[in-house]
């Protein structure tokens, strides 16, 4: 899901290109995830077999409307301007389109959001009071949209890394210094990201964001021209720098823990879990470190839980080879069976009376 800096980039794009235009028409895809209602031809098409197949033409990035679009708004221009079209693209199909009257923020789910760290950041004293009433882990708290709107997985990890706070730290174990750093960085990190229009390649080189994405992953093949690439798959590591450095210049160790069902990047040397915080819970669920497994197979995590790291899946155990007959006999304490050769003789045929004469 887009976090606050990405949402602000989208808002700026709309403001710069569509301000003053009037929506004249909307072409919407019939999609139950976004819209209500049934299709008109569902019963007609159900059970029908296709009679022919035509391969779809190769698409490039400049195709309009874009791939995975949910709707296209056709905009009537003001005097002296060209018509515009605004497409809503939802590759991961997690978005929603809502038509609500003003004031927009008075309607759920927007009315249920917490403070905006950029536009509506509370004073430190008010922030302390808000935190003092909360329980659970600190990462679970700052990612709760009812507490702070727009703070997602990578923003939360960046804030906690720079504040030197472990994501599994219980809220009630935070020091006054921890709370002050959280208050400062919850606004500072999104503001810096917004200043560069959420372009991750322009984020500071010492940000954890620049080093976290390919942890534990195998290099991916280069995509063909025209194919899109998710932001999380991009190589955003600084050029000419080999590792994330600690204050003393040594290499930082980045590990991963699961907090509230989300994968969290942690710099072991700087983010220490308080001794009494080992049994912390995130949003009602256990928050435990990921333990490495000896025989594990890597596979990508699907989505909604971030693609920062891979899930480890144990390979199925292979059946043991069948024991020989001698081994089975030895286990039972019986003498080993041996092959016995049996000679079978055919009885002689009786002689006839004529032959006895």
CATH number of the domain enclosing 140: 1.10.8.50
| Same-domain check for residues 307 and 212 | yes
| Mean confidence (pLDDT) of the chain | 76
Give a yes or no: residue 138 inside a domain. yes
Q: Do β-strands 69-76 and 22-28 pair in parallel, antiparallel, or remain unpaired? A: antiparallel
Q: Do residues 304 and 143 touch, judged by C-beta distance below 8 A?
A: no
Q: Does residue 270 have a pLDDT over 80?
A: yes
pLDDT tier, 27 (very low <50, low <70, confident <90, very high otherwise): confident
| Same-domain check for residues 86 and 147 | no
Q: Does residue 277 have a pLDDT over 90?
A: no
| Same-domain check for residues 73 and 22 | yes
| Same-domain check for residues 243 and 162 | yes
Determine the pLDDT at residue 159: 98
- Report how far residue 231's alpha carbon sits from residue 193's, in angstroms, rounded to the nearest whole number: 14
Determine the pLDDT at residue 271: 97
Mean pLDDT is highest, among 46-50, 64-68, 74-78, 126-130, for 126-130
Share above pLDDT 90 across residues of the chain, in percent, rounded to a whole number: 43
Examine the fold and report which residue of 298, 314, 330 is the final residue of a domain before the chain moves on: 314
Give a yes or no: residue 213 inside a domain. yes
Domain hosting residue 136, numbered range = 124-217+238-314
Determine the pLDDT at residue 283: 38
Q: Does residue 53 have a pLDDT over 70?
A: no
- Report how far residue 152's alpha carbon sits from residue 264's, in angstroms, rounded to the nearest whole number: 11
Token code pair at residue 39: 């299709």
Q: How far is CA 43 from the centre of its chain?
A: 36
| Same-domain check for residues 88 and 130 | no
Determine the pLDDT at residue 298: 42
**Range name among 195-209, 212-226, 270-284, 301-315 with the lowest pLDDT average:** 301-315
| Same-domain check for residues 247 and 288 | yes
Residue bearing the bigger pLDDT, 65 or 82: 82
Supply φ then ψ for residue 283, to 5 degrees: 50, 40
- Report how far residue 156's alpha carbon sits from residue 173's, in angstroms, rounded to the nearest whole number: 18
Determine the pLDDT at residue 286: 42
How far, in Å, are 256, 267, 321 from residue 259 at the CA level?
A: 10, 15, 42
pLDDT tier, 307 (very low <50, low <70, confident <90, very high otherwise): very low
Q: Taking the complete model, does pTM exceed 0.75, yes or no?
A: no
Give a yes or no: residue 129 inside a domain. yes
Determine the pLDDT at residue 68: 76
The candidate with the shortest Cα–Cα distance to 114, out of 4, 261, 2, is 4
**Range name among 6-10, 18-22, 163-167, 314-318 with the lowest pLDDT average:** 314-318
What tens digit of pLDDT does each residue of 153-198 get? Answer: 999 999 999 999 999 999 999 999 999 999 999 999 999 999 999 9
**Range name among 55-69, 71-85, 199-213, 334-348 with the lowest pLDDT average:** 334-348
- Report how far residue 150's alpha carbon sits from residue 162's, in angstroms, rounded to the nearest whole number: 18
Q: Does residue 268 have a pLDDT over 90?
A: yes
What tens digit of pLDDT does each residue of 202-230 get? Answer: 999 999 999 987 655 555 555 444 444 44
- Report how far residue 157's alpha carbon sits from residue 142's, in angstroms, rounded to the nearest whole number: 10
CB-based contacts of 123-131 (< 8 A; 24+ apart in sequence): 124/180, 124/183, 127/179, 127/182, 127/183, 128/179, 128/183, 131/171, 131/174, 131/179, 131/182
- Report how far residue 209's alpha carbon sits from residue 206's, in angstroms, rounded to the nearest whole number: 8
CB atoms inside a 10 Å sphere around CB 48? 7
Give a yes or no: residue 287 inside a domain. yes
| Same-domain check for residues 161 and 86 | no
Determine the pLDDT at residue 316: 42
Q: Do residues 184 and 128 touch, judged by C-beta distance below 8 A?
A: no
- Report how far residue 340's alpha carbon sits from residue 108's, in angstroms, rounded to the nearest whole number: 86
pLDDT tier, 40 (very low <50, low <70, confident <90, very high otherwise): low
Determine the pLDDT at residue 114: 96
Examine the fold and report which residue of 47, 82, 99 is the final residue of a domain before the chain moves on: 99
| Same-domain check for residues 80 and 133 | no
According to DSSP, the residues that pair with 285 across neighbouring strands are: 282
pLDDT tier, 59 (very low <50, low <70, confident <90, very high otherwise): low
Determine the pLDDT at residue 220: 52
Give a yes or no: residue 169 inside a domain. yes
Number of domains in the chain: 2
Give a yes or no: residue 336 inside a domain. no
- Report how far residue 277's alpha carbon sits from residue 65's, in angstroms, rounded to the nearest whole number: 51
| Same-domain check for residues 182 and 291 | yes
Q: What is the 3-state secondary structure (H, E, C) of the chain?
A: CCCHHHHHHHHHHHHHHHCCCEEEEEEECCCCCCCCCCCCCHHHHCCCCCCCCCCCCCCCCCCCCCCCEEEEEEEECCCCCCCEEEEEECCCCCCCCCCCCCCHHHCCCHHHCCECCCCCCCCHHHHHHHHHCCCCEHHHHHCCCCCECCCCHHHHHHHHHHHCCCCCCEHHHCCHHHHHHHHHHHHHHHHHHHHCCCCHHHCCCCCHHHHCCCCCCCCCCCCCCCCCCCHHHCCCCCCCCCCCECCCCCECCEEEEEECCEEEEEECCCCCCCHHHCCCEECCEECCECCCCCCEEEECCCCCCCCCCCEEEECCCCCCCCCCHHHHHHHHCCCCCCCCCCCCCCCCCCCCHHHHC
Give a yes or no: residue 232 inside a domain. no
| Same-domain check for residues 14 and 61 | yes
Determine the pLDDT at residue 101: 87
Mean pLDDT of 335-354: 51
| Same-domain check for residues 128 and 92 | no
Determine the pLDDT at residue 184: 98
Determine the pLDDT at residue 45: 52
Q: Do residues 87 and 65 touch, judged by C-beta distance below 8 A?
A: yes
| Same-domain check for residues 138 and 267 | yes
């Amino acid at each position: 899901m887009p976090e606050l800096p990405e949402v602000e980039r989208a808002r700026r794009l709309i403001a710069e290109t569509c301000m003053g235009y009037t929506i004249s028409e909307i072409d919407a895809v019939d999609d139950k995830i976004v819209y209500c209602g049934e299709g008109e031809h569902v019963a007609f098409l159900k059970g029908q077999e296709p009679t022919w197949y035509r391969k779809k033409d190769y698409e490039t990035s400049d195709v309009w409307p874009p791939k995975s679009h949910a709707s296209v708004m056709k905009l009537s221009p003001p005097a002296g301007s060209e018509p515009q079209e605004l497409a809503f693209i939802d590759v991961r199909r997690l978005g929603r389109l809502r038509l609500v009257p003003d004031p927009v923020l008075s309607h759920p789910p927007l009315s249920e959001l917490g403070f905006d760290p950029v536009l509506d950041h509370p004073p430190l004293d008010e922030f302390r009071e808000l935190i003092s009433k909360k329980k659970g882990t600190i990462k679970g708290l700052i990612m709760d949209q009812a507490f702070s709107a727009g703070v997602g997985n990578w923003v939360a990890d960046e804030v906690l890394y720079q504040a030197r706070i472990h994501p599994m730290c219980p809220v009630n174990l935070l020091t006054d210094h921890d709370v002050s750093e959280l208050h400062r960085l919850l606004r500072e990190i999104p503001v810096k990201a917004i200043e560069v229009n959420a372009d991750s390649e322009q984020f500071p080189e010492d940000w954890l964001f620049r080093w976290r994405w390919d942890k534990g992953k195998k290099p991916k093949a280069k995509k063909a021209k025209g194919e899109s690439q998710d932001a999380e798959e991009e190589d955003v590591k600084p050029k000419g720098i080999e590792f994330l450095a600690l204050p003393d210049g040594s290499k930082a160790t980045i590990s991963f823990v699961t907090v509230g069902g989300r994968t969290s990047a942690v710099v072991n040397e700087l983010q220490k879990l308080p001794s009494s915080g080992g049994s912390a819970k995130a949003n009602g669920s256990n928050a435990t470190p990921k333990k490495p497994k000896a025989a594990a197979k890597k596979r990508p995590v699907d989505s909604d839980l971030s693609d920062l790291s891979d899930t480890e899946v144990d390979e199925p155990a292979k059946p043991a080879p069948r024991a020989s007959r001698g081994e089975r006999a030895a286990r039972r304490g019986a003498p080993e069976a041996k092959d016995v050769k049996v000679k079978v003789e055919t009885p002689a045929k009786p002689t006839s009376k004529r032959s006895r004469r």
